[in-house]
Structure 1
Amino acid sequence: MFDSRRPRVLAALCAALAVAMLASCDRGGNAAAESGSSDTPASRSGTKPNIVYVLTDDLAWNLVKYMPHVQEMQKKGTTFSNFFATDSLCCPSRTSILTGQYPHNTGVFTNSGDDGGYRAFLKNGNEKKTFGPSLQRAGYRTGFMGKYLNGYQPGDKNGTDKPYVPSGWDEWDVAGEGYNEYNYELNENGKVVPYGKAPQDYLTDVLSKKATSFIGASAEEKKPFMLEVATFAPHGPYVPAPRDKGKFPGSRIRRPMPMTRRPSTRRNGSAPCHR
């Protein structure tokens, strides 16, 4: 469960995302991007770059040193040295990523309730403002996989007669409650597909295979593509893939004092503040 008052830290690894956001959302802005070369093949030829955007949930930067695959993505991707987070909460931040707008423009201020999460996202018409439709109009093949917004369920119909796919996405493989990595459902292009607890059902691996398939199909069609893969990991309850269990024997997580000690009433009689 999300505590809507608790800041969420979302770490993202991007490949040429600045090009996507500036070109697709038709908005001005300043961003400094660094890569292996400032003069990329796409910029020299004027072609449209392919974009793979991986958004993780609660990935702390001090964990990256244990993740060689993430480090490899970082080396081959684009690093933004000048960037801004519009909000540290999960859903307001995700909505800003999808629309390029601030929370006071999107109307998504928290993770649940009338002013937060998927409900507020829909109520304020944000699905029509995402970069998906804009990139489609620009000739891109678009894909979205993994986590959408808090409160979304794969079977949501949104006024239609069957599970719907938001406009702007050629490939849609999105889960609702995927934090446990097993026993979840995916909306696979309008069809709700249940997954169990077999090793091959591990959600992050399922998303990886679907992402690889999407990229291969896009290459065959010879169309530029934009793919967002939004994992539920490493958000708690911290369920590793079967092959990764026991990889760090003896390692312990150091927790700050407030996480291990219950709040107590102050001597002057005032009540503690619970978060």
Structure 2
Amino acid sequence: MRRRRIAVAVLAGLVVLAAVGGAMVVGRRDAALPRSRPDVVVIMTDDQTLASMRFLPRTNRLLGARGTTFTDAVVSFPNCCPSRATFLTGQYAHNTGVLDNVAPAGGFAKLDSSETLPVWLQRSGYWTASIGKYLNGWGQDGAIQPPPGWNRWFGLIDPTTYSYFGFQASDQGRRVRFANRPQDYSTDVVARTAVSAIERAPSGKPLFMQVTPLAPHVQTPERATNGKAILSTPVPAPRDKGTMAGVPLPRPPSFDEADTSDKSPQIARPRIGARDLAYLRRYWEAEIESLQAVDRLVESVVGALERSGRLDRSVVMFTSDNGLFHGEHRIRTAKFYLYEPAVRVPLVIRGGPFAAGRRIGAPVANVDLAPTILDLTGARPPASFTQDGRSLVGLVRDPGALARRGVLLENQYLLPDGSARRTVAIRTARWKLIVWDDGWEELYDLRADPDEVTSLARDPALARTKADLRARLETLRRCRGRSCEGWQALPSSGGRGG
């Protein structure tokens, strides 16, 4: 492959002023904008684990080696729609109100789309584009006009979003149907559309783009003739099928855990048998095969930024909306639970203040991404809109500033009787305390036991530690804005920062 010479993006003289308050007016540029405004591109995969990152050589070369890797990044709510709503707002799920993928507690309609990151960026003069998956349920009611804030819109339409072939998309509000030809593979279509959007973006405006392929999410389950669901997997592009055959399934100490009595009865599962193991292996191979098209997508997007002359002033972020279980704690392919396989995600940022080859181990979360983008661009939400996250720009200056920060983890689901169950956790650089809705508690020392094999919740020597974490969690689970931990720890970056 021809090697491109790509300059490391450096934002010189980035000035972000936060002195001007008050609500913003649609169509008016903020008087306190920085002179040099970066282009920002966010590439967000779906259900990607940390373990799969080693199979993305282009991404690691173009972003990882030339950017900053956050080695302790998590999502606060490990489920698609709540996580993506947090990214679009910088708020925890208990403040966005998006607590599920579907109504009544979640889905696209649950989010107030009139005040989101693209709206604020567009108001401040950015040309915005969304290419790929948006929020769960979008378009399912037949309304496929672009949500507020997007100049260029190519949105996958539910429920066809979860089909790698034969899906439908809204192209600026026009329904487009794709067939089952190799060139109609979902990730490749998203990649081509993203490249085209970069090429056609107005040269006189800074660019904000989110690129959100389906991969490596599972294909929509097909139905067998007897009505039972077939165990489905992600679907790789035809040219990638079989290329990862035989790659071993990761088997950390928590895989098919021998004794789960220290964990909530709500996750009780039988041991993984031969049939489940064969499925997990098949799923893993298909998953990393499907990511090969994502890896090429990253290369295509970076190449388009370079050809358009934008790369040197661009900040490119790569992350996922949540992780996924592959047999850890006996949990088959699922997410949602607040253990590490579901909450840990890749986070790599290239450009601006995010130096090449740097690794930062402070606890950060997806709730921090919107404040970071606002800090970099000088855009801001209305004064009445409160964000819970913190800009990572200040963290670059002082990596130890968030050493004691606690990140909130939360989930909620409805029982058949309509009642809601909510589990919450606090995760620091060392400790994680999980409190289930029925009061069951689990405590893990992530330094000594990163795979969460042994809960220390009943260890009397850690009673004070657990009490401290519980008290902090009680604040976090209801926090808003400055009452969320991490606000006072970071040095000022010169911008609003959240």
- Matched residue, 2:463: none
1:249 aligns with 2:245: yes
Aligned residues of 1:147 and 1:174 also touching (Cα < 8 A): yes
* Partner deviation per Cα, 1:105-131 (whole Å, 9 max, x = no partner): 21111121201122322xxxx201111
Identify the match of residue 137 of structure 1 among 112, 115, 123: 123
Aligned residues of 1:112 and 1:119 also touching (Cα < 8 A): no
Identify the match of residue 91 of structure 1 among 77, 81, 94: 81
* Partner deviation per Cα, 1:221-259 (whole Å, 9 max, x = no partner): 332100001111011121111221221232243574357
Aligned residues of 2:44 and 2:210 also touching (Cα < 8 A): yes
Aligned residues of 1:136 and 1:142 also touching (Cα < 8 A): yes
Aligned residues of 2:11 and 2:36 also touching (Cα < 8 A): no
Indicate the SS of the match to 2:43.
strand
**TM superposition shift of 1:104:** 1.7
Counterparts of 1:106-145 in structure 2, within 5 Å, are 106-121=96-111, 126-145=112-131
- Matched residue, 2:90: 100
**TM superposition shift of 1:153:** 2.3
Indicate the SS of the match to 1:143.
strand
Q: Amino acid of the residue matched to residue 54 of structure 1?
A: I
Tell me: CA distance 1:227–1:186, structure 2 relative to 1, closer, same or farther (3 Å). same
Tell me: CA distance 1:249–1:93, structure 2 relative to 1, closer, same or farther (3 Å). closer
Indicate the SS of the match to 1:172.
strand
Aligned residues of 1:95 and 1:106 also touching (Cα < 8 A): yes
**TM superposition shift of 1:40:** 2.7
* Partner deviation per Cα, 1:120-161 (whole Å, 9 max, x = no partner): 22xxxx20111111111111110011111112226632xxxx
Aligned residues of 2:119 and 2:148 also touching (Cα < 8 A): yes
- Matched residue, 2:135: 149
- Matched residue, 2:215: 233
**TM superposition shift of 1:80:** 4.2
Q: Take 2:13 and 2:141, find their aligned partners in 1: how far apart are those partners? A: 39
Indicate the SS of the match to 2:128.
strand
Tell me: CA distance 1:190–1:154, structure 2 relative to 1, closer, same or farther (3 Å). farther
Q: Take 1:187 and 1:203, find their aligned partners in 2: how far apart are those partners? A: 13
Q: Take 1:81 and 1:59, find their aligned partners in 2: how far apart are those partners? A: 15
**TM superposition shift of 1:41:** 3.0
- Matched residue, 1:23: none
Q: Which moved more, 1:96-105 or 1:145-154?
A: 145-154
Indicate the SS of the match to 2:14.
helix
Aligned residues of 2:88 and 2:117 also touching (Cα < 8 A): yes
- Matched residue, 1:5: none
Counterparts of 1:1-275 in structure 2, within 5 Å, are 40-41=11-12, 43=14, 46-71=35-60, 72-80=62-70, 85-121=75-111, 126-153=112-139, 156-157=142-143, 163-175=144-156, 176=158, 177-218=160-201, 221-236=203-218, 237-253=233-249, 256-257=255-256, 260-261=272-273
Q: Percent identity?
A: 35
**TM superposition shift of 1:46:** 3.4
Aligned residues of 1:181 and 1:202 also touching (Cα < 8 A): yes
Indicate the SS of the match to 2:98.
coil
Indicate the SS of the match to 2:217.
coil
**TM superposition shift of 1:82:** 7.1
Bigger-Rg structure (1/2): 2
Aligned residues of 1:53 and 1:228 also touching (Cα < 8 A): yes
